[in-house]
Amino acid sequence: MNISLRCLLFAVVALFASGMLPLHADSLPAASMPGDSVYQLDAALTDQDDRALHFADGRGKPRLVSMFYSNCPFMCPLIIDTIKKTEHALPEADRKHLEVLLVSFDADRDTPAALKAMAGKRHIDTPRWTLAHADAADVRSIAAVLNIQYRQLQNHEFSHSSVLVLLDEEGRIVARTEKLGEPDADFVAAVARVLGAR
């Protein structure tokens, strides 16, 4: 082994040992993901159990993603109900393989404790569903890659589009729907296809 290669390997090992270069799936080069993967975005999240995670941690599994906030009086409960109805439109064997991520618009008020309280109130299946908090900058970035529009109002509530987004195992957007209240048949079919291809 020549000296320059030995020095390079020593430097890489030293970075891993120091913790400056973390050794986990999130540290894989972005080039290893498809160019149209939303998981190119490196966004930090905290879930309802106060666990730190990253937006790209969903890589490897199909995922249904949306955005909401816990104090929303009408549209966000409807988003949750629509996701539940979408799940129930799937065969039970497939349902258990679908993960759900809901990211809050409300970086100030939706603490892990607030999200956990909402999960209990809404009877959310938290082993498969993740309710997540992020800082304001990461909220904006996630909304941008999912093409979800929102703005905070003077009364601290949010005006926002209500969208369900289906991601495949690599974080590519496969389907989206703005139909709420009842399952969108085309969207359910897309979810079934993605789950069937896993």
* pLDDT tens string 12-69: 333 333 343 333 334 344 458 888 999 999 899 999 999 999 999 999 999 999 999 9
Confidence of residue 198 (pLDDT cuts 50, 70, 90): low
Q: What mean pLDDT is predicted for residues 85-111?
A: 93
Over 60: is that where the pLDDT of 124 sits?
yes
Instruction: Measure the CA–CA gap between 77 and 118, rounded to whole angstroms.
Output: 10
Q: Please say if the pLDDT value at position 118 is more than 80.
A: yes
- Measured CA to CA in angstroms, residue 34 lies from 31, 39, 184 at distances of 7, 9, 27
The whole-number pLDDT of residue 136 equals 94
User: Which residue pairs from 51-55 have beta carbons closer than 8 angstroms and sit at least 24 positions apart in sequence?
Assistant: 53/130, 53/132, 54/26, 55/138, 55/142
Long-range contacts of residues 27-35, Cβ cutoff 8 Å, at least 24 apart = 33/59, 33/170, 33/171, 34/170, 34/171, 34/172
Q: Is the pLDDT of residue 88 over 90?
A: yes
